[in-house]
Amino acid sequence: MIRRVLFNLMAWAIVLAVAFPLFWMVVTSLKPQSELFRRPPTILPEVTTFEHYWRLLSETNFLTYFQNSVVLSVVTTVVVVSIATLGAYSIVRFKYWGRESLAFLVLFTYLLPSVVLIIPLYLMLVGLGLSNTIFSLVIAYTTFALPYALWLLRSFMAGIPEDLESAALVDGASRMGAFRDVILPQLLPGIISTALFTFILSWNEYLYALVLVNSDNTRPLTTGVMNMLISSFNVEWSLLMAASVMMSVPLIIVFAFLQSYLTRGFGAGGVKG
């Protein structure tokens, strides 16, 4: 019994240590500027204030960045997941020449470093006159999101018994009819999981946003918030921590309500291959 308690205490000490930076982020964002420089530092804020959040929303470009990020991530997710769902169905359930090499190509690109593609992509998007648009980022994000989504969905699709589709065909459905009536409903958890991962990947992306967009109107959160750090004369940590918290809000929501979908995605794509 004592051993059990000790083990629990130890385990939770480690868990809390891992989570401490996040705790500190929230605490800092709620402290008045003056309390930040107190020695010794206060663990819980003496005075809780939301002034940084208010300033973030009213005095900075944060809302524009946030809006850009939402549009960018949602569009990327919708485009990528739609294309990948059809593609995964094709790769798993149809037979034609080149199908297997294609599956390997998907896996290969899934591992490809962004810095290899970024130079030609930059030249291509500048050439098309798309630089500095959210659309250019959608195009750039498909380079990592599409292979990723395809790989995940492929493994979800392979988990749906082939007999279900066969049964629908015998019952009189066409291939696309069987896809709509039987496969899509079965694939739905996988699609949700893939969409969440794609959304998170797009939400968090930094490098392409750094290279392809440099106007405040089109910047997503990652480069926007980072710019607040770099461009400010006097680093306001509370403000930055408030921005960090706000930036993580969508992830916290996903986490709170849809965690099972995230763990499922882990199993399907991350390790099972």
Partner 1 sequence: MADVVFKNVHKKFGDFIAVEGLDLSIEEGEFVSLLGPSGCGKTTTLRMLAGLEFPSSGEISIGDRVVNDLPPGKRDIAMVFQSYALYPHMSVEKNIAYPLKKRGVPRSEQGPMIARVAEMLQLTPLLSRKPRQLSGGQQQRVALGRALVRDPKVFLLDEPLSNLDAKLRGIMRAELVELHQRLGRTMVYVTHDQLEAMTMSDRIAVMYDKKLQQFAPPQEVYREPANRFVAGFIGMPSMNLIDGDLSQEGDRWMFRSGSISVPVGPLVADARGGEACLGVRPENLLLGEGPTPAVVQLVERTGHENIVVVEIEGGLRMTGRVPASTDWKTGETIQMSIQSEAAHVFAAGPTGRRLNIASVAVRP
Partner 2 sequence: MIKNKQTKLERHYATLGMMLIAPTVLVFCAVIVYPLVSAIYLSLFDIYTPTLQGEWVGLDNYRELLGKGEFWASLRTNLIWTVGTLSLQILFGIGMALVLHQNIWFRSLARSLILFPYFISTVVAVLVWRWLFNDLYGILNHLMMAAGLIDMPVDYLGSMPNAMISVILVGAWKYFPFVVIAVLARLQTIPDSLYEAARIDGAGPVARFFDITLPQLRDVLVVIIMLRAIWDFKEFDLIFLLTGGGPVTSTQTLPLLVYKEAFSLNNMGMAAAYAVAMMAVMLVFMILYIRKTGEKDA
Contact predicate 271/151, CB 8 Å? no
Contacting partner 2 (CB under 8 A), which of 6, 47, 63, 116?
A: 116
> What residue spans of the chain are helical by DSSP H?
2-30, 33-36, 51-59, 62-93, 99-111, 114-127, 134-158, 162-170, 175-178, 184-204, 207-212, 221-231, 237-265
Hey, what amino acid is at 234? N
Residue choice 75, 117, 164, 192 for contact with partner 2 (CB under 8 A):
117
CB of 178 to partner 1, least distance (A): 9
Q: Near partner 2 by CB under 8 A, which window of 44-52, 55-63, 87-95, 185-193?
A: 87-95
By C-alpha distance, which of 49, 35, 70, 40 is closest to 242?
49
Instruction: Provide the binding-site residues for partner 1, judged by CB under 8 A.
Output: 161, 163-164, 166-174, 177, 181-182, 185-186
Quick check: 239 and 56 in contact, CB under 8 A?
yes
Distance CA 272, CA 91 (A): 17
Question: Of residues 32, 36, 70, 189, which one binds partner 2 by CB under 8 A?
Answer: 36
Decide whether 38 or 99 has the Cβ nearer to partner 1.
Answer: 99
The C-alpha atoms of residue 188 and residue 183 are separated, in whole angstroms, by 9
Q: Is 115 in the site for partner 2 (CB under 8 A)?
A: yes
- For position 41 contacting partner 2 by CB under 8 A, the verdict is yes
Q: How far is the CB of 83 from partner 2 (least distance, A)?
A: 5
What CA–CA distance (Å, rounded) separates 51 from 238? Answer: 10
Q: Which is nearer to partner 1, 187 or 247 (CB)?
A: 187
268: amino acid identity, one letter: A
Task: Give the burial class of 130: count Cβ atoms within 10 A of its Cβ; 0-12 exposed, 13-18 middle, 19 or more buried.
Answer: middle
| Partner touching 130 among partner 1, partner 2, none, CB below 5 to 8 Å by kind | none
For position 47 contacting partner 2 by CB under 8 A, the verdict is no
User: Considering only residues 252-271, where is the footprint of partner 2 by CB under 8 A?
Assistant: 254-255, 259, 262-263, 266-267, 270-271
Q: How far is the CB of 87 from partner 2 (least distance, A)?
A: 4
Where does this chain touch partner 2 (CB under 8 A) — which range of 49-57, 58-66, 120-128, 187-195? 120-128
What distance in Å separates the CA atoms of residue 69 and residue 250, rounded to the nearest whole number?
11
Does position 12 interact with partner 2 (CB under 8 A)? The reply is yes
150 interacts with partner 2 by CB under 8 A: yes
Nearest CA to 194 out of 37, 94, 71, 86 is that of 86
Interaction residues for partner 2, span 186-245 (CB under 8 A): 200, 203-204, 206-207, 211, 221-222, 225-226, 229, 237, 240-241, 243-244
Q: Is the Cβ of residue 89 or residue 151 nearer to partner 1 in the bound state?
A: 89
63 binds partner 2 (CB under 8 A): no
